[in-house]
Structure 1
Amino acid sequence: MKTIFLLFLLSYSVAAYAQIDDETIIRRNIADFSDAIVHRDTEAIANAYTPDASIFPNGFDIIKGTKDIKSYWTPRPGTTTTFHKIYPVEIVVNGSTAYDHGYYEVSGINDGNPFQGVRGKYVIVWKKLDGQWKIYLDIWNRAVSK
């Protein structure tokens, strides 16, 4: 009887784990992305994107591909990000493509000058590759407070 009960618990646990939905995974990826920025982990940042991804930072031309995206996210001397958080307003999953939009907030130090609470807005298009959600298109810019 114990064996049957343990098998039931094991199968229930596996089924519950397998049912983690795509939105939850994307939210986890968003949090991991912010963590990688704060910890200056350019490998993790670059790996968050698809190999053919494009980013659209405010004031720059379109930046495409892993090498150039990694270069963009490599912190410049004298620049430190102490806080980075993304606040999704909506996440929509449609098969192996998803998109989300919302706001971000960042604080840090730039050439010895601290900055706090810089806010902006963003849109991300996600692709599911080999079972993993990766950023395909990423556009953001500062939001002007009212």
Structure 2
Amino acid sequence: MKRTRPARGTFRRIFTAGFAADALVLAAGGLVAAAACGGRTPDMGQTGGTVAADAVRAEIERVTRRWEASLIAGAPGEAVADVFTPDAVRLPSGEPAVRGHDAIVRALAGSVPLREARFTIEDIEVDGNLAFANGTYRVRGPDDVGLEGKFLEVWKRLETGWRIHRVMWD
């Protein structure tokens, strides 16, 4: 099946002004009703000074599910602190960068609930307090219009757990 790229500005028409790019965030990354991220994981996946990639991936997946749930609920602004680092940068395709919690919350203002939001991490690499994840996303708006694409995320380990530090998608 041949996929055609939506016309520029389609995101805004589908999801409301400022939200288009957010619906595509990965867990950027990360977006469906699932477990909420409850803060710091007790051992943060550390074993003898090395980070266990499977433990890191599990926490990143939990945060991603939290993000998905917030998008489906139409309340992603309420999840920003649970998902992004305070100085996170979102890099929406064809739009200016969005820097920090306050700007991300403003960009998400007016978001409508999505019918579907799924971010699938295909690969993840961990290097100390940073993790690099890439994968695919699929979102569907209330009018059943769907978008699919790929994302790249840089995650950072904070005292509260792993959070998205940088994210970009197409």
- TM-score tier after normalising by the smaller chain length: 0.7 to 0.9
Bigger proportion of residues as helix: 1
| Structure 1 match to 2:167 | 138
Contact between 2:71 and 2:113, CA under 8 Å: does it hold in 1?
no
* Aligned residue identity for 2:116: F
Does residue 96 of structure 1 match 2:129?
Answer: yes
Q: Distance in 2 between matches of 1:129 and 1:101?
A: 20
Report which structure shows greater RCO (CA 8 Å, sep ≥6). Answer: 2
Structure 2, unaligned runs of 5 or more: 1-41, 46-53
* Aligned residue identity for 1:21: A
What pairs with 1:50-61 in structure 2 (closer than 5 Å)?
A: 50-61=85-96
CA displacement 1:42-86 (0-9 Å, x = unmatched): 12134311111100112210110111111112234xx43121000
Q: Distance in 1 between matches of 2:80 and 2:160?
A: 18
| CA 1:30–1:102: 2 relative to 1, 3 Å | same
Bigger proportion of residues as strand: 1
| Structure 1 match to 2:9 | none
Q: Distance in 2 between matches of 1:74 and 1:131?
A: 25
CA displacement 1:83-123 (0-9 Å, x = unmatched): 100011101111110010010000013xxxx1333101100
* Aligned residue identity for 2:55: D
Q: Distance in 1 between matches of 2:167 and 2:139?
A: 16
The runs of 4+ residues in structure 1 deviating greater than 6 Å are: none
| Structure 2 match to 1:27 | 61
What percentage of residue pairs aligned between the two structures are identical? Answer: 26
Aligned length: 119
SS at match of 1:72: helix
CA displacement 1:12-53 (0-9 Å, x = unmatched): xxxxx8567111111111111111111122121343111111
Contact between 2:64 and 2:83, CA under 8 Å: does it hold in 1?
no
SS at match of 1:81: coil
Choose 1 or 2 for highest CA Rg. Answer: 1
| Structure 2 match to 1:69 | 104
